[in-house]
A and B are shown apart, each in its own frame.
Chain A
Amino acid sequence: MHPSQSSRATVRIQNRLGLHARPAMSFVDTANGFDCEIRVRKGGQVVDGKSIMQMMMLAATQGTELHLQADGPDAGTAVAALTELVDRKFDED
């Protein structure tokens, strides 16, 4: 068994209002459904994708590129779920 897995993806925030509190909460809720560690990077800033306070520090406006990195047993599924959430614009717009 290989418990350690790594997965990455780059996503772009597409909804008009950006990553404000509600979508940030959806992101964190989704992230917390997985065991892996999830880091989100914007430029040189890296935050914990499972912390709402840290995610709000990204000020990710519409068009912002975010780099997701997951490490842990369910990293692949986690990145796929988070990418899907961002791509469907958090059900906004």
Chain B
Amino acid sequence: MKLNDLIIPTAIVPQLEHTDRDSAIEELIDALIASRSVSKALRGDLIKLIIDREKKGSTGFGKGVAVPHVKHAKIKGMAAAIGVSQQGVDFNSLDKSPVYSIILLLSPENKPDEHLQAMENIFSNLQNDTFRRFLRQSTTVEEIQDLIQEADAQQLQG
């Protein structure tokens, strides 16, 4: 599985407007809805589930990144949005630091193995210092798309 298979190009938000967790999550869900990756009817449901999940344990795992996610019966295929914030978003991270890159993942409910493959791909990239630094420095959709291509082609230095 590649990032390109997960990330919806029109759901790349290089300059997140909001700096609080819940609003940033809403922005990314709205980007996925605008991209027609998910039905508008699910908006409230998904936002609530993702925030509830965050309250149980932050997906801000440190190093300035967060991966909020949800599995839902009405999600047909995996879809992810990327948000980058220059100011940083308070995600109640494990290391108490703000997050600058957020990858929000929607997964179908009945495909746990695919969900794990997607998470593996996302974390392999987020674990890479070069990927993380370039993502944080990106200010346009094009820059992030180029980064995704390079990451998928394994052209980034570890």
Q: What CA separation (Å) do A17 and B56 show in the bound complex?
A: 18
17 pairs from A and B in contact (CB 8 Å cutoff): A18-B113, A18-B116, A19-B116, A21-B67, A21-B69, A22-B56, A22-B57, A52-B62, A56-B119, A56-B120, A56-B122, A56-B123, A57-B123, A59-B119, A60-B116, A61-B113, A62-B113
Residues in chain A near residue B116, CB distance under 8 A: 18-20, 59-61
Q: How many A-B residue pairs have CB under 8 A?
A: 50
Distance in angstroms from B51 CB to nearest chain A CB is: 15
A contact residues, total (Cβ < 8 Å): 18
Residues in chain B near residue A62, CB distance under 8 A: 112-113
Query: Is B119's CB under 8 angstroms from A20's CB?
Result: yes
Say whether A58 faces chain B, with CB atoms less than 8 Å apart: yes
Of A18, A21, A25, A54, which contacts B127 at CB under 8 A? A54
Say whether B72 faces chain A, with CB atoms less than 8 Å apart: no
Interface residues of A (CB under 8 A from B): 16-22, 25, 52-54, 56-62
Residues in chain B near residue A54, CB distance under 8 A: 123, 127
B contact residues, total (Cβ < 8 Å): 21
Residues in chain B near residue A25, CB distance under 8 A: 57
Query: Is A59's CB under 8 angstroms from B120's CB?
Result: yes
Q: What CA separation (Å) do A33 and B31 show in the bound complex?
A: 40
Of A17, A52, A58, which contacts B120 at CB under 8 A? A58
The CB with the most chain B CB atoms within 10 A, among A16, A19, A21, A60, is that of A21
Distance in angstroms from A58 CB to nearest chain B CB is: 7
Q: What CA separation (Å) do A17 and B59 show in the bound complex?
A: 17
Q: What CA separation (Å) do A56 and B122 show in the bound complex?
A: 9
Residues in chain A near residue B136, CB distance under 8 A: none
Residues in chain A near residue B117, CB distance under 8 A: 59
Closest residue of chain A to B120, judged by CB? A59
Query: Is B127's CB under 8 angstroms from A61's CB?
Result: no
Say whether B124 faces chain A, with CB atoms less than 8 Å apart: yes
Say whether B94 faces chain A, with CB atoms less than 8 Å apart: yes
Residues in chain A near residue B126, CB distance under 8 A: 53
Query: Is A17's CB under 8 angstroms from B119's CB?
Result: no
Query: Is B120's CB under 8 angstroms from A57's CB?
Result: yes
Q: A21-B59, A21-B69, A59-B117 are in contact. Are A53 and B123 (CB under 8 A)?
A: yes
Distance in angstroms from B5 CB to nearest chain A CB is: 15
